[in-house]
Amino acid sequence: MKHIFSILFLLIASISFANKTSVTILIDPGHGGKDPGHLPLTDTLMQEKDIALEIAMKIGGYLTYNLSNVVVMYTRQSDVYPTLDYRVEMANNNKVDYMLSLHVNGSPNSAVYGTETHIHNYDAKASYKWAQLIEKQFKARAGRKSRGVKTAADIGHSLQILKHTKMPTVLVECGFITNTAEGRYLNSPYGQEIIASAVFRATREFIKSKHSGIDFSPPQDLTDQPDQPHYKVQIMASIDEIATDIREFTKLGFDVERVLVESSSMYKYKYYVGPFDTKKEAKKAQKSVQSNGYKDAFIVYFE
């Protein structure tokens, strides 16, 4: 009898105190299939369901390839419609640690634009923190207009995903497709990359703060083979190819070079200005592009 108790105790102890070694995130691209979500201003632009899927897959890619010990699941990875019940059950039955739902907003008033992150209520402390980090990234790093964190009370009704999931859950509205400028941004691979990387950064900061015992160090990157000695300033990286003659690049006053990366990393393309012969010139260029919105631009030395 004594034995049974001690075995039972050991079992309970090992379950309660087991060191968590990985984190699971369920990514939920809103709508899909028969449900297009919000509709764009013109038929040539993407519907909410398609933009949500693009951004969701990019976020999943960033998390998978830039962090160790993060498992990413999706409620859908193609143009199909899982019901809201199915999405909630998938989160709860798999006991995922976090759920991230991606949407794009719409309004009869085309002047309305900006991002919102929804949580069930302010008592959901972890969700609230995560949501705040996402809106902070949208504003500070992605240069979007943040409309802030919203709860069921703020919008006057509960969102099923937020109400019934048992883990920290946020629902991100990445912008309004009914606003001409923001709609265009959300339709561009550039805009989708920036939005996705903002959500990724916020999520990385959030899960790192929640799991100090897990090593999230990224896998080794094997990029950037040596060339002639010079400096370049990397302004961004992307999964999908972005044209280098878009306004976001031409406004910099430097030619932007796109380099295809042969690497284990998820980022397939890197974007540089340069080359510069001296570090001083590179620093000057770095300051210039940083003040033009590429706050994370950094100098790379090529031997």
Piece of 7-15, 29-37, 180-188, 205-213 that binds Zn ion (CB under 5 A):
29-37
The CB-of-101 to Zn ion minimum distance in angstroms stands at 9
Footprint on residues 98-127 left by Zn ion (CB under 5 A): 103
Q: How far is the CB of 82 from Zn ion (least distance, A)?
A: 14
- CA distance linking residue 294 with residue 289, whole number of Å: 6
* Cβ–Cβ under 8 Å, residues 124 and 168: yes
Interaction between residue 147 and Zn ion (CB under 5 A):
no
Q: Is 60 in the site for Zn ion (CB under 5 A)?
A: no
Helix orientation angle between 48-66 and 189-210, rounded to the nearest 10 degrees: 50
Give min distance, CB of 233 to Zn ion, in A.
37
Helix residue spans in 113-270 (DSSP H): 125-140, 152-155, 160-164, 180-187, 189-210, 247-250
The most distant pair of C-alpha atoms in the chain lies apart, rounded to whole Å, by 79
Q: Locate tokens 């809103």: which residue?
A: 30
Which C-beta is closer to Zn ion: that of 68 or that of 160? 160
Binding residues with Zn ion: total (CB under 5 A): 3
Minimum CB–partner distance for residue 125 and Zn ion (Å): 25
49 binds Zn ion (CB under 5 A): no
Smallest gap from residue 103 Cβ to Zn ion (A): 3
In angstroms, the CA 219 to CA 264 distance is: 9
**Which span (37-45, 121-129, 213-221, 234-242) binds Zn ion, by CB under 5 A?**
37-45
Tell me which amino acid residue 294 is.
Answer: Y
40 binds Zn ion (CB under 5 A): no
Instruction: State the Cα–Cα distance between residues 299 and 290, nearest whole angstrom.
Output: 12
Is 30 a binder of Zn ion (CB under 5 A)?
yes
Is residue 183 near Zn ion by the rule CB under 5 A? no
Nearer residue to Zn ion within complex by CB, 103 or 129:
103
How is residue 137 written in tokens?
């990234």
37 binds Zn ion (CB under 5 A): yes
Q: d(Cα 119, Cα 149) in Å, to the nearest integer?
A: 7
Minimal distance, residue 116 CB to Zn ion, in Å: 11
Alpha carbons 171 and 200: distance in angstroms, whole number: 14
**Of all helices (H) and strands (E), which one includes residue 44?**
none
- The answer to whether 32 contacts Zn ion (rule: CB under 5 A) is no
What CA–CA distance (Å, rounded) separates 127 from 112? 25
Residue closer to Zn ion (CB basis): 149 or 252: 149
Q: List interacting residues with Zn ion (CB under 5 A).
A: 30, 37, 103
